[in-house]
Amino acid sequence: MNTYARIDALSPGTFALDGEEVDFGPGESILQAATRAGHYIPHLCWHPDFGAKGSCRLCTVRINGRMGAACTVQAASGQEVESNTDDLNAQRKILLQMMFIEGNHFCPSCEKSGNCRLQATAYDVGMEGPHFEEFYPQRRVDASHPDLLLDLNRCILCGLCVRASQEADGKDVFAIGGYGIKTHLLVNSPSGQMADSALLPNDRAANICPVGAILHKRQGFVIPIGKRQFDKLPVSQQTEEGKP
């Protein structure tokens, strides 16, 4: 980014999103400004309360003809941003299909069904099946904590629990380690299990997971299926993030 673009990004202004003018404030990303203005750009790893990482790439948009992650690219005056196009939505569907086959996501039996952003986003883009051959990886379940359950079968490596633990809780309970297909969530404790970590049920990190990887025990169906967040409205009509 040149000097003039940096100055422009630090000043308020407007950009065009799918032909509609969107106001942005100093330092806001395209996704921050769009969400605040009531526009939906699909995303999984971004949350307005925490720094952006751009790890899922679901929010990839076309900015003046070039691809970029809407959560990390700063808004600037004069930008022409395309998001809701056939080709970008097709790419998002493929990304979602890959997320489903790389983990073990069995929505009908998952207690997060109806409150799961991965599931809701897949519905929204019209995903009807995994399309690719499923991996069925062997991943562990950590039920050692008296109040919380960690099921790595459902983890999509969004990193939200890592950022929440660092930025909100000040504990560094979680980290992401490994490379490639072996990348996985780590628990910062002597045993590597949640039982002897500093995680508490009311910590932000214990409540930020967009899928069913971190769950509270004995609360699975307190809200019945059919009355959950994404049962009420599609994810694309819920432009404000839920406050976990």
Query: Which pLDDT tens digit goes with each residue over 92-147?
Result: 999 999 999 999 999 999 999 999 999 999 999 999 999 999 999 999 999 999 99
At a CB cut-off of 8 Å and minimum separation 6, what does 2 contact? none
Q: What is the pLDDT of residue 10?
A: 60
107 and 209 housed in the same domain: yes
Where does a domain end: 84, 119, 143?
84
- Residue 91, pLDDT score: 97
At residue 78, φ and ψ (nearest 5 deg) are 90, -5
* Residue 74 within a domain: yes
Do 40 and 149 lie in one domain? The reply is no
In this structure, the answer to whether residues 59 and 134 fall within a common structural domain is no
Closest to 207 in 3D by CA, of 178, 233, 169, 152: 169
How far CA 175 is from CA of 116, 178, 188, 200, in Å, comes to 22, 10, 7, 16
Over range 19-45, report the average pLDDT. Answer: 96
pLDDT, residue 12, reads 87
pLDDT of residue 220: 85
Q: How many domains does the chain have?
A: 2
Q: Are residues 120 and 149 in the same domain?
A: yes
**Strands (E) located in 196-243:** 214-216
**Helix, strand, or coil (residue 14):** strand
Instruction: Indicate the burial class of 86 (C-beta count within 10 angstroms; 0-12, 13-18, 19 or more).
Output: exposed
My answer on whether 115 and 71 are in the same domain is no
Give me the CATH number covering residue 139. Answer: 3.30.70.20
Q: Are residues 23 and 95 in the same domain?
A: no
Q: What percentage of the chain has pLDDT greater than the value 70?
A: 93
Q: What CATH number is given to the structural domain containing 77?
A: 3.10.20.740
Do 182 and 165 share a domain, yes or no? Answer: yes
What does the pLDDT read at residue 181? 85
pLDDT at 6 over 50: no
Helix (H) or strand (E) holding 231: helix 229-232
Residue range of the domain that includes 204: 90-220
Which tokens hold the place of 151?
A: 């099921």
Report helix angle 86-102 to 117-124, nearest 10. 140
Q: Are residues 25 and 80 in the same domain?
A: yes
pLDDT category of residue 162 using cuts at 50, 70 and 90 = very high
Geometric angle at alpha carbon 107, from 46 and 60, rounded to 5°: 30
CB of 68 within 8 A of CB of 80? no
Stretch among 5-19, 43-57, 154-168 having the lowest mean pLDDT: 5-19
Residue 225 token pair: 């299926």
Do 98 and 189 lie in one domain? The reply is yes
Rounded to an integer, what distance in angstroms lies between the CA atom of residue 191 and that of residue 135? 28
Does pLDDT of 244 surpass 70? no
Same domain flag for 201 and 215: yes
